[in-house]
Amino acid sequence: MEKYILKYFDAIRTIIAILIGIFISILVIYIISKSPGGSLRYFLLGPVLSKSRLGNVFETATPILFGGLAVSIPFQAAQFNIGQEGEIYLGAALGTAFALVFHMPAFLYAAMVLFFAGLIGAGWGYIPGILKAKWKVDELVSSLMLNYVAYFFGLYVINYHFRDKKAGFLVSYQLPKAAWLKQFIPGTRIHIGVILALVFAILVYYFLYHTKLGYEIRMVGFNRHFARYGGINVFKVIVLSQVIGGFIAGVGGMVEVMGIHHRFNWQMSPGYGWDGIVVAIIGHNHPILIIFAALFLAYLRVGGQVLNLMSDVPSEMVTVIESIIILLITAEAFLSQWKYRITVREAARKEELNESAS
């Protein structure tokens, strides 16, 4: 039994952290809500009580998943590029502009627009990458700063050049129908992009764990000195990991525009890059685990919205829960004493086995 606890310690720790987070949120709900039982039900079960809300979970998870995948690649190379927010925003803004300027035959349209948005994201990832590789500029700082550049530049392009003046809000013109990602389950807004996100997750998994470049990225992340000593071009890996991450972020941003809104309507940066960092951390930068992490976070979000609509508890609660869970998960030492005690007992048991065997 204890052997298995050791083997799956990280998973168990994550689950316990989540449970503690939920327990604390239950406490908070009991304190602030006048009818805590009902509120709790909305919060925990709200997302599965109707088809459209369940759909909401998948729709919400999609851009978060793209964000998480985009984060996981540079993170696996130990490059703490946090520019995904900007890459998503700029990919979507310039991708929208591209779609509005160049009209193409339907079968090419969506693919070309997504590819273009990906290139924008990749270019945005290249900047901190090359700055780090060439001049040792800290990518955490440069990518963070570039987020602001991306946000205001994207906003400028949309508001001054592609704004639909007939619309009542600050939004771009609507994309031609041929560039939409089809919503294919009636009663929900689940669109092709949801499938695309899953395909991307599997591709990223294969990329990281089964290709030569993926191996290089992981070795650089484990130990940069070792990679260099072994002959890996660390410079190339530092840059490429951020470029590829940027590509995925750019695509993710555009998918959201093409699948849900059909026009660019983000006057505020949507935060998918930050959510991406959260799910990448929860999923230990592993693409398959990130799928579940993104669904989990989306479930919490939707639960929070239901709670907000149907009860007297404000949706800010969700942020509280999220933060507590992330704090617990990222605290490496959380439960480490417990692990140590099990380790000691396991070691003693092994010794006894050895003794009796010899």
Partner 1 sequence: MDTILSIRNIVKVYPNGVVANKGISFDIEKNTIHALVGENGAGKTTLMKILFGIETPQEGEIIYKGKKVHFKSPLDAIKNGIGMVHQHLMLAPDLTVAENLTLGIEPRKWKIFLDTDKMNEIAKRVSKEFGLEVPFDKRVKDLPIGVRQRVEILKALLRNVELLILDEPTAVLTPQESDMLFKTLKDLKKHGKTIIFISHKLKEVKQIADRVTVIRDGKVIATKDASELTEHQIAELMVGREIKSERIAPSPKVGEPLLEVENLDYINEENIPVLKSVSFKVRSGEILGVAGVEGNGQTELVEILTGLRRLTSGKVIINGKDMAGKTPREIRENGVSHIPEDRMKNGVAEAATIKENLIVDRYYKKPFSKGILLDWKYITNYGKKLIKDFNVLATSPDALVSSLSGGNIQKVVVARELSSNPSVIVADQPIRGIDVGSEELVHRLLKEARDKGSAVFLVSADLDEVLELSTRIIVLYNGEIVARFDDVGGLTGKDLGPYMLGVKREE
Minimum CB separation of residue 24 from partner 1 in Å reads 28
Q: How many residues does the chain have?
A: 358
CA distance 22 to 36: 14
Of the candidates 188, 181, 183, the one whose C-alpha atom is nearest the C-alpha of residue 54 is: 188
Minimum CB separation of residue 343 from partner 1 in Å reads 5
Is the CB of 267 or the CB of 336 nearer to partner 1?
336
Minimum CB separation of residue 216 from partner 1 in Å reads 8
Of the candidates 92, 128, 145, the one whose C-alpha atom is nearest the C-alpha of residue 269 is: 92
Is the CB of 48 or the CB of 348 nearer to partner 1?
348
176 and 170 in contact (C-beta within 8 Å)?
no
Give the amino acid at 264. Answer: F
Is the CB of 166 or the CB of 337 nearer to partner 1?
337
Integer-rounded Cα radius of gyration of the chain: 23
Half-sphere exposure of 351 (CA within 13 A, CB side): 6
Residues near partner 1 (CB under 8 A) are: 6, 210-213, 215, 218-219, 222-223, 225-233, 336, 339-340, 343-344, 346-348, 351
Is the CB of 177 or the CB of 350 nearer to partner 1?
350
Half-sphere exposure of 56 (CA within 13 A, CB side): 17
Minimum CB separation of residue 122 from partner 1 in Å reads 18
CA distance 86 to 92: 10
Give the amino acid at 60. Answer: T
Minimum CB separation of residue 12 from partner 1 in Å reads 17
Is the CB of 139 or the CB of 216 nearer to partner 1?
216
Minimum CB separation of residue 42 from partner 1 in Å reads 42
Is the CB of 124 or the CB of 205 nearer to partner 1?
205
Token pair, residue 276, equals 């991406």
Only one residue has tokens 């509005």, namely 100
